[in-house]
Amino acid sequence: MAYSSAGRLRVGPTMKWEVVIGLEIHTQLATASKIFSGASTTYGAPPNSQACLVDLGYPGILPVLNEQVVRMAIKFGLATNCKISRRSVFARKNYFYPDLPKGYQISQYELPIVSGGHIDIVLDDGEIKTIRITRAHLEEDAGKSLHENFHGASGIDLNRAGTPLLEIVSEPDLRSAMEAGIYMRKIHTLVRYLGISDGNMQEGSFRCDANVSIRLKGDKKLGTRTELKNLNSFRFVEKAIEIEVERQIEILEEGGHIVLETRLYDSDRNETRPMRSKEEANDYRYFPDPDLLPLVIEDALVDELKDSLPELPDAKRVRFVKEYELSDYDAGVLTANLETADYYEEAVRSTTVASPKLVANWVQGELAAALNRDGLDIAEAKVASAELGLLAERIEDGTVSGKLAKEVFERLWHDGGSIDDIIEQRGLKQISDSGTIEKLVDDVLAQNPTQLEQFRGGNEKVIGFFVGQIMKASDGKANPKQVNAILRKKLNE
Amino acid sequence: MHDRTLALLADDLAARRVSAVELTEHFLQRIEQFDAQLNAFVTVTRDEALAQAAVADKRLAAGNATPLTGIPIAHKDIFCTQGVKTSCGSKILDNFISPYDATIVSRLKDAGAVMLGKTNMDEFAMGSSSETSFYGAVRNPWDHELVPGGSSGGSAAAVAARMVCGATGTDTGGSIRQPASLSGITGFKPTYGRVSRYGMVAFASSLDQAGTLTRTAEDAALMMQVMAGFDERDSTALTDPVPAFSSALETPWQTITIGVPENFFDDGLDEGSAQAIRDALRVFERLGATIKDVHLEHVHLSVPVYYVVASAEASSNLSRFDGVRYGHRAENIDNLTELYMRTRGEGFGAEVKRRILTGTYVLSAGYYDAYYLQAQKVRQLISDDFARAFADVDFLIGPTTPTPAFGIGQKMDDPIQMYLNDIYTIGANLAGLPALSVPCGFSGGLPVGLQLIGAHLSEPALLKVAHYFQLETDWHTRVPAAYA
C-alpha cells in the first residue's frame, strides 16, 4: 500500500480509500494548583502525596474553579480563531472507576468555553491546509491505576486526579497519519508559545485520541470510525493511525465492516486492538454540575488576554524570513518551539557582525547536534546564545575558520570559558598572514613533485589534494580562501 | 434550665448565672436519660463537649464570648465533624471519621457553641420520617409510636425533648421544616446559598441548604448569625453581606401583605391542621397584616419535579461511596465489579437505592430530555410562580405538612404517600427561597406547623414576622409532658 500521487488517498488492492481523521488532544494546563482544589500539580511526587480531600472525593467537599485555567483556555481560543463562550457550563461525566474518586469527572459538555476556530498547518510539500477546531473544553484529569507490584490487587495514585486539562477537538479534516502528526505538532508548538502547557509528553502533559475512519474516494458520508486512545508521542500517533488505516482497508476490501469501538495502540507489537466497544460503553449521564455555577466571562477579560498574547508561531516565522532573510524552511525549524526561536534571536542580536543566516546554521547544526547528543533541552544548552553569536562573529571576521570554530564550540560546551581565550590558548586562530601561507604552499609543492607533474600535465583535480595537504600542514588553521588564492597563483606562475 | 430558650440561656451565660459546664452537664444528663427511648443521637460527644464547655467558660470569664459561647447544640450527622463519626445515617459511612470540619461546624465551634453530639437522620437525608436510618427510627417526643418527621428528625426530636438548645439540620425538600412541624418546634431553611454547603454530605446539591432547628425564631436568628455568610470553598455560596438577624427582630412591626396559596388548602390537608392555620392567619390580621389569596399555578408539580431533580443529583453525588477510599467495603472481593456491587449493595438502604436507581434512569440516554430536562423547565416555571407572587405579597403562609405526625412504619411501604408529605415544602427548595415552620396549634393532640416563605434573602424580615407571631402566641412553649 502506498500514498497515491495525489498524496492523500490510500490505494487498497482494489479500491481507493480516503482517510478521515479527527484528533482530541488533551493538554495539561501549566497551573501550580489543580483545577478545582489547591493541591499542587508538580509531577513525580510520591503516590497520593498531592491529593487533598477535594481530589480524594471526600464526603461534603466541593470544587472551586481555578481562575488560571479560564485565562489559559481563553488564550488558546484567541490563538486559534475560536469563539470564546461568554457563558459555559461544567458538567458531570458519570462512570465508576477506582481512580475516579467522585464517580464522575467534571468536564464541559454542551457548552464548552472555546469553540469554532481553525489553524493552518504546512504539509511536507509546502501546501498550507486549514484544520478546523470544533471546540476546546476544560476538564479534570483522573488518577492513575497501577496494576503491577500489588500482588493481585491494584494500586491507585490520585496525584494526577484534578489536574487541569484542555481537551482540543478537531473536525475530521485530517487526511493522513502525516497530517495528523503535523497538526498535533502545531498544537503542541502553540500551547507552549502561549505558555499554557509545558507540553511534556513523557509526563503525559500532552496526549491525544485519534478518531480514524476511511471512505471510498468521492463518498460524502463518513465511514464508521474507531477511536485510538491515549497516544502520547507524535510518532505513535502517526504509526497508530497508519496501522489502523491498513487494518480498516483490509476489513472493507474483504467485504467486512468496521465496528465502532475504542482501540488501544500497542507500540511494541505495532498493532491496535479493541479496548471496549462503544455500543456497550458507559452511558455517561452528563448533566450540569450543580456544585459549579455557569462560567461567565466578561468582555474585559477577553480583551485583556487578547492584548497579552505573545507573537504566535506563524507570525514569528514570517517575521524571521523577512527580518533575517532566512529560508521559509529555516524559519520554520527555528520557530517550531519558542525556546529555540528566543535563543536564535538573542544570538543574532548579540552580534552586529555575523550574518543571521550563519547564526541560523549554527543553531540548527552544531547546537542542535550537541543538545541531541546530550539529551538536553535548549534551556539547558551549555553554550549561551550570546556566546554562539560571538563565535559566529569570530568566523565572520576571519579570526577562526568554520571548521576550527567547531572545536571552539566543543571546548566551550564541555569546559566553558571565553571564546577568545580558547582560540588563543589552543592556537586555533586562523592563519591569514600571506607570507606564512606562501611558505606553507611552497613547502607542500616542493614535497610533492609527482602531483605537481600531474597538474602540469593538465590534471586539475590535484588542486584539492594540495589544499588538503596545506590545511593539514597548518593544523587546519590556514585561511582556506587565502590558501586557494595563493596556491592557484603559484601553480600558474 | 432546659425549659429556657437558647436566647435566654445565652443571657444567663453572659450574666454568669450559669456556667457552660453546668449547662453542658445538664443537657448531657438529659440525653442520657431520654435518648434511649428517642434514638435522636447517633453519637454523643460527652468528653469533647465538656472540654469545649470549659473553654467556653474561660472565654465568658475573659469577656471575649459570643452569644453562642457555651450553648449546647447538636449537629445533624450529615455535617462533617473532625475526629468524630459522620455517618449520614448510613451503614456505608458507619466507620467514617471525618478528617475535617464542615464550614458551619467550624463557625459554630469558633463562636464557642458546645457540640453535644451528632443527630440521627434519614439515610443520606432521603426520607420524611427519620425511619430510613441505619441506626433505627427516631421517635417523636410527643408520641413514641409516631415519627418525628425527617430527614432532620434527630435534630427535631433532640430540640423538642429539650436535650439541646438548638440543632443544625439540612433541608432539601422540607427536611428541616417538616420535622420541625411534626415535632412542635421552629425550623428555618435560609435562601439557597446563604449558608455554606462545604462539609455537608451532598444529597441534591442544587436544593440542599443548611439551617436550624430551635424552639423559637429568636433562637434561629442567633444561630444564623454565626452560620450564614460567604464561603470561598463553596462556589454556590452567596456573597451578599450577612444582615444582623437578631436586631432585625427588634424593629417595629411594619404593614405587610401575606399571600395564602389556595392550592395549599387542598383535599389532602388534615382538617385540624387547616383550622390551626386559619387561626394563625387571624393572629397576623390582628398584628395588622393584609391577607390575600394567591395561586401558584405550577406548584402541584413540585413533588414529581423534585423526585426527578433530587434523585438525578443524588445518583451522581453518591457515586463516591465505592468502598475504595473510605467507608464500608465489602469483604472477600474477587473483582472490581463485585467490589462496587457488594459494597454499595450492603452499604445503602432501600430508599437510597430507590433514589439512585430513579436518578440514574432519568439521566440516561434517551430519557434525559423527557425527565431531567423537562423537570428543570418545570422547576423554572415554579420559581417564576413564586417570583410573580412576591411582586404582590411580602410572604406566603400556609401549612408545613398535610397532616401531623404519622405512625412509625405507616408509610414505609408506600413511597408516594411518604413523598407527598413534602408537598408544601418542596416549592421553596426548587425556587431556592427562605422558609420556616413555626408551631401554630394542635390537631388531635399533635403539633401543627405554620409555614412562612419569603422572597430571596428576606431572612431578617421572615424571622421577624415569625418572632412577632411567637410574641403573640405560646405554641412554641409547649413541651411534651414527659420532657417538661
Please give the average per-residue pLDDT across B135-139, as a whole number. 98
pLDDT of residue A463: 87
Query: Torsion angle, CA of A439/A444/A450/A455, rounded to 10 degrees?
Result: -70
8 Å CB contact of B198 and A61: yes
- Residues of A with Cβ-Cβ distance to B316 under 8 angstroms: 92, 94, 103-104, 285, 287
- Are B200 and A60 inside 8 Å of each other by CB? yes
pLDDT bracket for residue A190 (50, 70, 90)? very high
Q: Which residues contact B435 (CB under 8 A, 6 or more apart)?
A: B177, B188, B189, B425, B428, B451, B452, B453, B454, B462
Q: Please, what is the end-to-end C-alpha distance for chain A in angstroms?
A: 63
Render pLDDT for A242-296 as a digit per residue (tens, 0 to 9).
Answer: 999 999 999 999 999 999 999 999 999 999 999 865 545 679 999 999 999 999 9
Q: Is B181 a catalytic residue?
A: no
Confirm whether pTM is higher than 0.95: no
Contact B236 A293 (CB under 8 A): yes
Q: Does residue B151 carry a catalytic annotation?
A: yes
- Cα distances from A93 to residues A109, B319, B342, B363, in angstroms, run 9, 11, 23, 11
Tell me if chain A has a CB within 8 Å of the CB of B82: no
Give A342 to chain B, closest Cα distance, Å.
40
Of A4-8, A99-103, B196-200, B456-460, the poorest mean pLDDT is in A4-8
- Is A11 a residue whose pLDDT tops 80? no
What is chain B's Cα-based Rg? Answer: 21
Count of Cβ atoms closer than 10 Å to residue B323 Cβ: 20
Distance separating alpha carbons of residues A418 and A390, to the nearest angstrom: 10
How confident is the model over A300-320, as pLDDT tens digits? 999 999 999 999 999 999 999
Q: Which of residues 57-96 of A touch B (CB under 8 A)?
A: 57-65, 92, 94, 96
Average pLDDT over residues B268-273: 95
Q: What is the pLDDT of residue A281?
A: 61
Compute chain A's Rg from CA coordinates: 29
Tell me if A64 and B232 make a contact (CB, 8 A cut-off).
yes
Convert the pLDDT of each residue in B378-394 to its tens digit. Answer: 999 999 999 999 999 99
Cβ-Cβ contacts under 8 Å, B364 against chain A:
283, 285
This model of the complex carries an ipTM of 0.96
pLDDT level of residue A6 (50, 70, 90 thresholds): very low
pLDDT tens digits along A444-472? 888 988 888 888 888 888 888 988 888 88
State how far Cα B46 lies from the chain centre: 24
Residues A429 and A477: their CA atoms lie apart, in Å, by 6
Per DSSP, what are the bridge partners of residue A273?
A264
Residue type, B147: V
Cα dist from B10 to A283, A431, B45, B67, whole Å: 54, 99, 21, 6
A-to-B residue pairs, Cβ atoms closer than 8 angstroms? 101
B76 in catalytic set = yes
- What are the cell numbers at A74? 481563553
Is the pLDDT confidence value at A398 over 90? no
pLDDT tens digits, one per residue of A44-56:
899 999 999 999 9
pLDDT attached to residue A280: 54
* 3-state secondary structure (DSSP) of residue A478: strand
- Of residues B172 and A147, more confidence is placed in B172
CATH of domain A434-491: 1.10.10.410
Average pLDDT over residues A18-26: 97
Whether B79 and chain A come into contact, CB under 8 Å, resolves to yes
**A290 → closest Cβ in B98, B206, B315:** B206
Classify B95 as helix, strand or coil.
coil
Beta carbons of B89 and B133 less than 8 angstroms apart: yes
Residue B315: list chain A partners with CB under 8 A: 94, 285
Please determine, for residue A4, whether its predicted confidence score (pLDDT) is greater than 70. no
Q: Write the CB contacts of A436 (distance below 8 Å, at least 6 apart in sequence).
A: A478
Q: Do A59 and B98 touch (CB under 8 A)?
A: yes
Percent of chain B with pLDDT over 90: 96
Please indicate if any CB of chain B lies within 8 Å of the CB of A239: no
Contact A156 B79 (CB under 8 A): no
Given a cut of 70, whether residue A371 has pLDDT beyond it is yes
Nearest to A98 among B198, B235, B336 (CB): B336
Pick the closest to residue A19 from A170, A181, A185, A212 (CA basis).
A212
| Structural domains of chain B sorted by starting position, each given as residue range(s) with its CATH number in brackets | 6-252+471-483 (3.90.1300.10)
Instruction: Return the percent helix, strand and coil in chain B, to nearest 5.
Output: 45, 15, 40
Is the pLDDT confidence value at B219 over 70?
A: yes
* pLDDT tens-digit series, residues B310-333: 999 999 999 999 999 999 999 999
Between B110 and A485, residue with greater pLDDT: B110
User: Which is more confidently placed, A9 or A168?
Assistant: A168
Question: Is pLDDT above 50 for B256?
Answer: yes
CA distance A67 to chain B (A): 12
Distance CA(B56)–CA(B111), nearest Å, equals 9
Average of pLDDT values for B238-255? Answer: 95
Domain ranges in chain A are: 9-305, 311-425, 434-491
Residue A86: pLDDT above 80?
A: yes
